[in-house]
Structure 1
Amino acid sequence: MAERAEFNRKCTNSTGPLYSADLFLAATPRSGQKAMVGLRGWRLLGRARRRSTGPLVALSLALSSHLAHLSWNALPGFVAAWAPTPTVHHSGSRLLAGSVRAVASAVEAGPAVKTLSEASLQAQVEGFFARALADVAGEAKVMVAPADPRFGDYQCNNAMGLFKQSKKEGGKEGWKSPRDVGEAIKAALPAEASELFEEVNVAPQGFITVKLSPQWLHKQVAELFDHGLQLRSSMSQRIVIDYSSPNIAKEMHVGHLRSTILGDTMANLFEDLGHEVVRLNHVGDWGTQFGMLLEYMRREEALDGEASSMVVSDLQKFYRSAKEAFDEDDEFRKKAQTNVVELQSGADWARAAWNRICEASRKEFDTVYGRLQIRGLQERGESFYNKMLPGVVEELQEKGLVTESDGALCVFTNVSETPLIVQKADGGFGYDSTDCAAVQHRINEENANRVIYVIDNGQELHMRMVFSAAEQAGWLSGGARLDFMGFGLVQGQDGKKFKTRSGEVVRLRDLLDEAADRSEVELRKRAENANIVLDEDKERKLKQNAESIGMAAVKYFDLRQNRNSDYRFSYDSMLDPKGNTAVYVLYAYARIAGVLRRADFEIGTLSTTDLELTEAPERALALRLLRLPEVIAQVEDDLFPSRLVDHMYGLATDFSSFYTECPVVGSEQQKSRLILCEVVRRQLAYCLGLLRIEPFEQL
């Protein structure tokens, strides 16, 4: 089959990660239609290597009229650790994912599939303490967190609160101190907890610290090496994520950076966990500004021609001039308002010009998205909801939620004394009505279980009002969840809005160019210091690497920030090879790849019977590896991807300590430490893949 041969050829010849592929198989005898194995999301971690670095599991599917038969084939040269389970499509219907996973889990070559709660180390610790607390105090919320490494691995903090509560109730349990409570909880731990805990200690303040068993740590790391791990959410949902949202006829600027990167990273993570994700780009493509722009372009005789001849920078200049004319010229203002009516009513000339403007803008957006590896983002602008607005207002009226005020139709919420204006006094509609229509459509038509809005913090009050209106309207009665994923501003070094020297907002394209240029300067310095002569091929590769590192640095630096906070943008800080940066993590990955090359050892022939975790840096590295599921579980819930970036940096720094203190190549523990290196490499590649950053074998 030509399609399958092409897929296998790409796998064999690939020199970089293959992030997605669709494998089309032969027609089934009954339907005559093609069956598709969706391998979308399979993250083939690491570059092709001459020697095997672990199994890549490819799914072959043979469909008969009654049975879907699955077989797994190992393709050498790739690592499929942490790879999502394939979803099988046939004749437009989906084979139950659970069926595929059941088969996959029974196949030795396939990645182990676990839910976040099953894989989370903290969740397992909490489970044991929950059982103990149930015996000691009845129902109580378990309070477990990672401990100070000097005292243990995890810490239960319930004792102090239970002691205070007991004193208020007369102390009938006979506890004289928080330590007594801690000892009671310790004594109530189930017997099987001893498999996980090596030590359980109670501090005078009642804090209970546990140290994990070395045998248990060994077993978990061995499983990661042998089988990898595919994480799945406990419950698969349909999730709509609204992010990026630039304005038509305007260039993307630094203000769009955070929404684009934060939203895309969350979409990648949710998809990898098995959720069905709809990525929506709520572009600003409707409203009064287009009436102004059309009128100015008509005056300048710029309405005719092809969309390909339009440049967004010219449109932005037109818009500024149009705004001045709108504010100062009454005749221009009236014509612009008439243009809006004609555009909304579908006048041919207005729609044709508007489409050309939108198409020119999309070309500009796609250039930026391509550089940042943003994929799958569906444009669904304000215009999409225009025809729905009268119906939404009518529904809100029927439900008794609309109040007339000075001729305008308003919806009051419990969030603010200021109402949402769902219809203006002149009969027009604005952002309030559009956003209400968007919520209704995403829940009722898109059937979303969860809708996430990645918007700057300045819009939080407005969106909370929209969420409240949606709840009053009963749109959330089916259990849908609305999340506001706000973020702070990108600032300059002076702590003010990031602007150019002339006071203009920094264009996103210029910011990315500068990052790539600075990366290129650093790479040229390294080449010069290493006495590397750059021929044509090396020159081309250097420029490609500079672009990749520059984009990675921008994305990582933004994601590492607490999204609720403003942050100061700094090219020097984000390209620092010794700080919490993409450059540092990429160097760590390249160092691991170098160790594996120098060892000149068939990784696939290593046995976990050789694995030892006797040194403190080895144990710390193993513990960090096993904490990834709990980190991802937190990010899935609270939408702070900085936790994932912190984990990556911690893993890279732990590896640096391990590499410094524990010789690998040529040591007596070489086999054991190569196993640890390989598992770290896979996990770093997986995390970088969620950010859509390609790791380097060499830097």
Structure 2
Amino acid sequence: MTSVTSLTASVNQRLADALSAAMPDAASADPLLRRSDRADFQANGILALAKKAKANPREVAERVVGGIDNGAVIKDVEVSGPGFLNITVTDRAITENLAARLADTEQRLGVPHNPGAGTTVVDYAQPNVAKEMHVGHLRSAVIGDSVAQILRFTGETVVARHHIGDWGTQFGMLIQYLIEHPHELDHKEADSAAASGEEAMSNLNRLYKAARVAFDSDEEFKGRARRRVVALQAGDTETLARWQKFVDESKVYFYSVFDKLDMVIEDADVVGESGYNDMLDETCRLLEESGVAVISEGALCVFFDDVKGPDGNPVPLIVRKSDGGYGYAATDLSAIRNRVFDLKASTLLYVVDARQSLHFKMVFETARRAGWLNDDVTASQLAFGTVLGKDGKPFKTREGETVRLVDLLDEAIDRASAVVREKSQDSPEPLTEEEIAERGAQVGIGAVKYADLSTSANRDYKFDLDQMVSLNGDTSVYLQYAYARIKSILRRAGDATLAAHPELELAPAERALGLHLDGFAETLAEAAADHAPHKLTAYLYQLASYYTAFYDKCPVLKAETPAQVENRLFLCEITARTLHQGMALLGIRTPERL
């Protein structure tokens, strides 16, 4: 792979070398280099170093400037204020750096792999069997999918895990009712996977309601249902076959929703609560024998000094209930054992609602006490906030019910299709109705994903479709139209050559665009390390904004010289590739025509 050293890294190394020469005691000091509005970069580290050495910071700064190897990278260094350094790089360095990124034979834009990459299990997109997905399932799926893609791109081995809710006492009720009403889940061949999935879930919803009525009103049925739970847990062949039918019907629905979300969910990655059943006994035995868990009032519990109830008494993590049944903790702890010892993961990441933070805090601490997690194997929760309505309250229907995810996505696609249709009417390259439908889905789903991902995961955000599909502001639509505009220019260029010309002087808008493009790899590294897709969305929005300024101020096809035309086409191409790659890591399509 062709790895490209960023301009930031090149400048930082030259500053560090000069700083070491000027202050030998500060050989490993950080120059604290940052992008700046006053110049290309500003170094702020000299003040603290000079203060520590009881030296005059401005004099130290002057010595550092005198020792900097300018070469072909640094054009000018100015001492500012009490000892800041304002650094300007050469136009040649910007162009040559971008040319090297575009020439990357693996088409990674020169982004290096993380040398410390390991194996991360990302637990996300966790719907429940026999239940419809609602707006609360959106964030886990969207955030988890993007984090997984970013980590993979930076070199991490990622194992996806979708911990679906497929076990529990309610299945005894459902299975018994299905045995007594064997045709409840029959459904016709549908015209599409989505239609088939929604019909499957409709049947399951109908079955659940009917089973619940029978359970609440018929004592004999209730008794049969409870005996069926015992049979399920004991591994009865017929009962397990019926249970598997629920799981299979639900998966048809899950996959139709994920398909609408433009997400690929592999069947092998769907390992629900039931997948760890065979480990539960051993997990409890290991915890009890090690003294991590103790019997309290008949239940196997783990206690924590800092977890207490309103009455001041300790609130334990219950691994096994007093009746011998297992809670979520037993399953989650067994999953940790599987992921650490079988999958050989070095990092476990759980993309789960913030309201479950206490549960995971106790589960992780229990696993650490047991020795399953340590300094080399870590687990953390990527906790996310709530999706709110425009009124700032949890998103509900007018009837006060939770919003179905498919309804929300369909409305987003409808709104986006209207925007695409209206914009297409004024375009020199109008779209066909089939293209409008396809682009409408890409724009609508992209709008929903981007609104979610552009907010820091731990914050709540308001679901406002009008804003999401706006052509203006920080939206995916704005980025998608920027990409489509670039591709239109490249199409109109025809056979014209695009080529980097390092000898050319760059206009201010070209410099600003080029310097921002240079920061793509560092942004990705930061987003991967922090599990923070919102840092990538912020970068891409700024990139689209810089390109818009470039487009307004720097004619491309009508530039003054042939060399300038080629160089600006080159800038268009690398901008398009960066937008395309960045949006792909967010799980968002970039149509070439809109």
TM-score, with structure 1 as normaliser: 0.75
Mark the CA change 1:476 to 1:123 in structure 2 (over 3 Å): closer, same or farther: farther
Identity %: 37
Cα deviation 1:340-390 (Å, max 9, x = unaligned): 221111123321221111111101111111122211441100000011011
Q: Do the aligned partners of 1:242 and 1:452 also contact (CA within 8 Å) in 2?
A: yes
C-alpha distance in 2 between matches for 1:650 and 1:617: 13
Corresponding residue for 2:43?
156
Find the residue that maps to 2:400 and give its secondary structure. coil
Q: Structure 1 residue 384 and structure 2 residue 314: aligned?
A: no
Corresponding residue for 2:585?
690
C-alpha distance in 2 between matches for 1:326 and 1:123: 67
Q: Do the aligned partners of 1:288 and 1:336 also contact (CA within 8 Å) in 2?
A: no
C-alpha distance in 2 between matches for 1:321 and 1:163: 77
Shift of 1:311: 2.4
Find the residue that maps to 1:572 and give its secondary structure. helix
Corresponding residue for 2:435?
541
Q: Please list, as runs of the form range in 1=range in 2, the aligned pairs for 1:91-102 lying within 5 A after superposition.
A: 101=1
Letter of the 1:175 partner, please give it: A
Corresponding residue for 1:200?
77
Q: Structure 1 residue 552 and structure 2 residue 446: aligned?
A: yes
Cα deviation 1:3-36 (Å, max 9, x = unaligned): xxxxxxxxxxxxxxxxxxxxxxxxxxxxxxxxxx
Corresponding residue for 1:568?
462
Q: Structure 1 residue 113 and structure 2 residue 8: aligned?
A: no
Shift of 1:497: 0.9
Q: Structure 1 residue 459 and structure 2 residue 340: aligned?
A: no
Find the residue that maps to 1:274 and give its secondary structure. coil
Deviates more, 1:358-367 or 1:319-328: 319-328
| Structure 1: unaligned runs, 5 residues or longer | 1-100, 102-111, 167-172
Shift of 1:326: 5.8
Shift of 1:685: 1.3
Q: Please list, as runs of the form range in 1=range in 2, the aligned pairs for 1:580-659 lying within 5 A after superposition.
A: 580-603=474-497, 606-609=498-501, 612-659=504-551
C-alpha distance in 2 between matches for 1:410 and 1:562: 35
Mark the CA change 1:197 to 1:551 in structure 2 (over 3 Å): closer, same or farther: same
Shift of 1:554: 1.3
Q: Please list, as runs of the form range in 1=range in 2, the aligned pairs for 1:318-333 lying within 5 A after superposition.
A: 318-320=207-209, 322=211
Letter of the 2:460 partner, please give it: D
C-alpha distance in 1 between matches for 2:386 and 2:492: 45
Shift of 1:530: 5.6
Cα deviation 1:52-75 (Å, max 9, x = unaligned): xxxxxxxxxxxxxxxxxxxxxxxx
Q: Do the aligned partners of 1:307 and 1:356 also contact (CA within 8 Å) in 2?
A: no
Corresponding residue for 1:236?
117
Letter of the 1:648 partner, please give it: L
Shift of 1:636: 1.0
Shift of 1:147: 3.3
Task: Using CA pairs under 8 Å that are at least 6 residues apart, name the structure with larger relative contact order, 1 or 2.
Answer: 2
Find the residue that maps to 2:103 and give its secondary structure. helix
**What do you get for the CA RMSD once the two structures are aligned?**
2.9
Shift of 1:645: 1.0
C-alpha distance in 2 between matches for 1:630 and 1:214: 20
Shift of 1:610: 6.2
C-alpha distance in 2 between matches for 1:258 and 1:192: 48
Q: Do the aligned partners of 1:486 and 1:563 also contact (CA within 8 Å) in 2?
A: yes
Corresponding residue for 1:74?
none
Q: 2:167 aligns with which of 270, 279, 286?
A: 286
Corresponding residue for 2:243?
354
Shift of 1:684: 1.1
| Structure 2: unaligned runs, 5 residues or longer | 190-195, 309-314
Letter of the 1:513 partner, please give it: D
Corresponding residue for 1:219?
96
Cα deviation 1:142-196 (Å, max 9, x = unaligned): 37353331x23333333454466x3xxxxxx3435x5456556x35x86446554
Q: Do the aligned partners of 2:184 and 2:207 also contact (CA within 8 Å) in 1?
A: no
Corresponding residue for 1:504?
401
Q: Please list, as runs of the form range in 1=range in 2, the aligned pairs for 1:248-259 lying within 5 A after superposition.
A: 248-259=129-140
Corresponding residue for 2:385?
488
Deviates more, 1:201-210 or 1:581-590: 201-210
Corresponding residue for 1:468?
365
Corresponding residue for 2:193?
none
C-alpha distance in 1 between matches for 2:211 and 2:428: 56
Corresponding residue for 2:192?
none
Q: Do the aligned partners of 1:553 and 1:574 also contact (CA within 8 Å) in 2?
A: yes
Q: Do the aligned partners of 1:129 and 1:142 also contact (CA within 8 Å) in 2?
A: no
Shift of 1:335: 4.1
Q: Do the aligned partners of 2:120 and 2:156 also contact (CA within 8 Å) in 1?
A: yes
